[in-house]
A and B are shown apart, each in its own frame.
Chain A
C-alpha cells in the first residue's frame, strides 16, 4: 500500500486555452462563476447519493450465510460493498465542494436541493449522451433497483471524459469536464489565495470526520468462516477453520486510504492549491487518474466508473453489450462467474421504479404509494432532508464541538436512523408485489430553525400499529439527533 497521494497534473492544452479566455473576464465575473459552479457541483454530488443508495438498498446482501455463499449471494454482497464504497466517496465529494465554496464566503445549500422528480437529469448535464443498452441517448437517471440497465445509468453519471476534453460548465457531457471548468476558473490570475480565506478552515468540515471504509463497504472474497479469528497486528494469520478463511482474511476493501490528492481525503481549503487538490480528489475518484481504471498511487482502488463497469461485466448481458463505452480506460473482459438475471432476482428486493409518496407532481413514470404508507414515507424523507440541514449546520458549529456534532448528527442519522428506517420499510410488501422503498423527496421541514420540531412531528404522525412496531426504536434514535435550531436563529 502506498502512503502517497495523487500528484496534481498540469493543465491540459484545452484548459490552458480556457484559462486564457476566462482571464478576459473581470475578477468579479470569474468569482461569481466560481461560486455558482461550486454550488452546482454540490448539487451534482448530492444528486448521486440518493440514486446510488436507492439501488444499494435494493440488494439483499446476506441471503445465504458466510459458509454457504453461492455465486449470486457473493455477487450481491460484493455489489453492495462496492456501491456503498462509491456512495461514501460521493459524500466526501459533496463535503469537498462545500468546503471550497464556504472558503469563498458562501454557505453551501443542500436542504431542498435534491433532484425531483425522478427520472432526473443531473444539474446542467447534457440531456443527450452516448447510446445506451437499448440505443436510447437520453440522460435521465431513475431511482431503480439493481440491474444491468440501472448500471448503465450509473455509468452515464461517471462517464470519463476524453483526453484533453474541452472544459464545460453548462450542458456538460462529463463530470470531469465540469470540474475541469472549475479548475480553469481557480487558475485564473485574478483569483488569489486570499479569495479562499473569507471563511476560515477551522469551521469547515474537518478531515477527522471521514473514513474511506467501514464494515458496509467491505465484502467477502468468497465463503468464509464466521467463527474465524482475525490475525493480531504483527503476527501471522491463524489457520483457516472449516476449510474457509476468517471474515478478516476474506475481507476485500473497495476504497484505499491513498486515494486522494493533497494531505488527506477530506481536507479544508484556504488557498488555490488546496482547492485544486480537493477537486483532483473528486475527479480522480470518480473517473480515474490519468484515464486509468484506478484512481490512487498504489493502483488498488478502482474509479467509480470502473467499479461499476466491473460489476456490470459480471452480468449476463455484458458480453453482448451495445452501449457506447469510452475507449479509455479499456473496458474489462466479462468477469466470471456470470450472474444470470434469474440468479439476480433471488438477491434483489422488488423496489418500484421512481416511487413518490403522494399523487402530487406525478409524471408518467412515477409509482405512487398507497395512503397508508404516506406517514412512513414522509418520515423517511424528513430524515433525509434533516441530514442536509445538519450538514449545512456543521459550518456553524465551532471546531471544538464539530466532532461530537458530526458523530451525533451525521453518523447517527446515517447508521442508526436512515439505514434502519429503509431496512424496516422494505419489509412492507405492497399489493402488487413491490416493497416499500425510500422516495428521497424534497420534503419541506419548514425553516431550518423549525426543522427539528417538524421532524419530531413526523414521528408522531405514524399511527399504524405494524409500522409503529417496526420503527419505534428508530424513532427513539431520531429524538437523540441534535436540535439545530440554536444555530439558525439568524436565518431561515
Chain B
C-alpha cells in the first residue's frame, strides 16, 4: 500500500489556489459592532465588518486589516465552530448536510436555537446534502440561495444601496472569484497543512473535511 493511500488529502491539488487570500483564522475576531446577528458561514453576513476576522480585518490577502465592506461579503462564520449535528450553541448556526431531515438540509444556517442545528460550521465547499431536495448538491451554495431569498430582501429594505444579487465574497478584491464555491477545505486547512482546523463527521470519509470519525 503506497503512502498516498493512507495520507488524508493526497494528492493535494497544485498550484495552491488561495495564495493571495488571507489565512483562515482559527479564532473569531472581535466584531466591528458589539451586537450582530450570528451566521454560519462565508458570505452569509448581514452587515459590514461582520465575519470571522471581525473589526481587525483579514490577516493577509489583498486588503489586510480592512474589515469586509458589506453584507454578503464576509469570510466565514462569526459563530463558535462546532463539529456536527446538535452541537451548535445558538440560532442560525447549523451548517447542515451530514445529518438531519430533508427540511433542515434545505435550510442550512437557518435553525431556531441551540441543539436544533445540523452539522458543522464552517460549511466547507465540498460538502453535499444527504437528504431532501438538495440531496447530492452543495450545502454552502444552498445556504447562499436561502440567504439571498430570505434575508437579503430584508437587508435591502434597510439599505437600498445593496445590489439585487449577492456580492462576491471579499468584494472586488480578487481578480478571480476564488470563493465562488464557498470556503474550500484546502483554504481552511491552509493547503492541507492544518487538517484539524475544522472537522466534519462521516464514517465513509465523504464530508470533505478532516474527519471526526
Which residues does A use to contact B, with CB under 8 Å? 61-68, 70, 77, 80-81, 84, 208, 210-220, 224, 226-233, 241-242, 246-251, 253, 257, 403-404, 407-408, 411-412, 415-416, 419-420, 423
User: Which of B58-66, B138-146, B152-160 lies on the face that meets chain A?
Assistant: B138-146
Listed residue (B87, B113, B125, B142) with the most chain A CB atoms within 10 angstroms of its CB: B87
Query: Closest approach, in angstroms, between the C-beta of A275 and any C-beta of chain B?
Result: 24
Contact pick for B204, options A208, A211, A216, CB 8 Å: A216
Size range of the interface on B? 35 or more
- By a CB distance below 8 angstroms, the chain B residues around A81 are 204
- By a CB distance below 8 angstroms, the chain B residues around A67 are 4, 10-11
Q: Are B85 and A248 in contact (CB under 8 A)?
A: no
Q: Are A411 and B99 in contact (CB under 8 A)?
A: yes
Q: Are A408 and B115 in contact (CB under 8 A)?
A: yes
Q: Are A229 and B205 in contact (CB under 8 A)?
A: no
Listed residue (B9, B102, B128) with the most chain A CB atoms within 10 angstroms of its CB: B128
Q: Are B204 and A62 in contact (CB under 8 A)?
A: yes
Q: Are A230 and B136 in contact (CB under 8 A)?
A: yes
B19 within 8 A of A: no
| A306 to B108 CA separation, bound complex (whole angstroms) | 34
Q: Are A70 and B5 in contact (CB under 8 A)?
A: yes
| A379 to B206 CA separation, bound complex (whole angstroms) | 30
Q: Are B201 and A415 in contact (CB under 8 A)?
A: yes
Chain B contacts with A in 1-55, Cβ cutoff 8 A: 1-2, 4-13
B72 within 8 A of A: no
Contact pick for A68, options B2, B87, B204, CB 8 Å: B2
B131 within 8 A of A: yes
Determine chain B's interface SS by DSSP, over half rule: loop
With A67-B4, A227-B184, A227-B185 as given contacts, are A212 and B99 in contact (CB-CB < 8 Å)? Answer: no
5 smallest A-B Cβ distances: which pairs? A248-B128, A215-B202, A68-B5, A215-B98, A230-B128
With A61-B204, A233-B133, A404-B115 as given contacts, are A211 and B128 in contact (CB-CB < 8 Å)? Answer: no
| A251 to B184 CA separation, bound complex (whole angstroms) | 19
Q: Are A407 and B115 in contact (CB under 8 A)?
A: yes
What sequence of 0s and 1s flags, for each residue 186-213 of chain B, a beta carbon within 8 Å of any chain A beta carbon? 1000000000000001111111100101
| A220 to B102 CA separation, bound complex (whole angstroms) | 21
With A229-B138, A230-B137, A233-B133 as given contacts, are A215 and B204 in contact (CB-CB < 8 Å)? Answer: yes
Given contacts A251-B128, A407-B85, 11 further A-B contacts (CB under 8 A): A214-B98, A220-B206, A226-B9, A227-B208, A230-B128, A230-B137, A247-B206, A247-B207, A253-B130, A412-B115, A420-B213
Chain B contacts with A in 85-102, Cβ cutoff 8 A: 85-87, 97-102
- By a CB distance below 8 angstroms, the chain A residues around B138 are 229-233, 248
Q: Are A226 and B204 in contact (CB under 8 A)?
A: no
| A420 to B99 CA separation, bound complex (whole angstroms) | 15
Q: Are B136 and A251 in contact (CB under 8 A)?
A: yes
Q: Are A64 and B1 in contact (CB under 8 A)?
A: yes
With A80-B203, A415-B86 as given contacts, are A65 and B4 in contact (CB-CB < 8 Å)? Answer: yes
- By a CB distance below 8 angstroms, the chain A residues around B135 are 213, 253
